[in-house]
Amino acid sequence: MSTFVLVHGAWHGSWCWDRVVPHLHAAGHRTVVPTLTGLGERASELTPEVGLSVHVDDIVAVLSDATEPVVLVGHSYSGLVVRQAADQLPDAVERLALVDAWFGDDGVSLFDLAPDWFREAMEDMAAAGGDGWRIPPPPAETVGVTEPADQAWVEPRLTPQPILTFIEPTRLTGAVDSVPTSAIVVEPSAFPFRQLAAGAGLEPAALDTGHDVMVTAPQALATLLTNQTRGRTTT
């Protein structure tokens, strides 16, 4: 039995893991599902000063409260969040699981890792609909949610993302490199998540689904997370 700390990505909240949690519980695991400052049900806390370091502090607090090492899971943007948190408290993390995730070396930001078209689109969205510092939620289809019923569940729950989270660089000492890490990617993808994993020496498991895999393929994702925690690589 493991405790999984499931960390959502940009525009989302803890709600996005609702379909995964029952499968992890059925496999005998425990879950902790935080919402990052200013997002989801914490949207009222959003300010221009909310950046990557604020979200890292959120997860460091969760790790500090844990009674045993956890499996720390980060989706998309939160690949950066969970790695920096694990770098600060490596002994609190049994394993890192990066799910279609952005991550990189010390000193790089999400915008450094992303294609130019993505950065330009986010800056344009913030300028047009977020006073320059908030990025309005994109349509669910752009995060791989294509079923109308799923879109109707996801879109009302998405909240603006502070652009500082994409600009602020990650700060790593290198301690995170001692934490066992696995990766999961979805394919096909317009983003370089497989390349980022390969650059870190990881051989990711792949799922044929959308980027919001916790919404579109929750049972398959839970199975992969459980298998990777047990040291298996079944896809």
154-163 core/surface letters (b: 16 or more CB in 10 A; e: else): beebbbbbbb
In a domain, 74, yes or no: yes
For residues 146 and 140, give the distance between their C-alpha atoms in angstroms, rounded to a whole number: 7
For residues 159 and 13, give the distance between their C-alpha atoms in angstroms, rounded to a whole number: 8
Residues in the chain: 235
CATH code, domain carrying 13: 3.40.50.1820
In a domain, 105, yes or no: yes
Peptide bond into 188 cis (omega under 30): yes
Token pair for 227: 């298998």
CA dihedral (159, 163, 168, 172) positive or negative: positive
**For position 231, what pLDDT does the model report?**
57
Per the rule left: phi > 0, alpha: psi between -120 and 50, beta: everything else, 158 is beta
**For position 203, what pLDDT does the model report?**
94
Which structural domain range is residue 155 located in? 3-229
In a domain, 234, yes or no: no
Number of domains in the chain: 1
For residues 132 and 167, give the distance between their C-alpha atoms in angstroms, rounded to a whole number: 13
In a domain, 192, yes or no: yes
Token pair for 136: 């309005």
For residues 55 and 71, give the distance between their C-alpha atoms in angstroms, rounded to a whole number: 18
Q: How many Å separate Cα 83 from the centre of its chain?
A: 10
In a domain, 190, yes or no: yes
**For position 228, what pLDDT does the model report?**
84
In a domain, 40, yes or no: yes
**For position 229, what pLDDT does the model report?**
75
In a domain, 235, yes or no: no
Amino acid at position 104, single letter = G
In a domain, 224, yes or no: yes
Contact 98, 165 (CB under 8 A): no
β-pair partners for 32: 5
CA dihedral (223, 225, 229, 235) positive or negative: positive
Averaged in consecutive runs of 10 residues, what is the pLDDT profile of the chain (235 residues)? 97 98 97 98 98 98 97 98 98 98 98 97 98 98 96 98 98 97 95 95 96 98 90 40
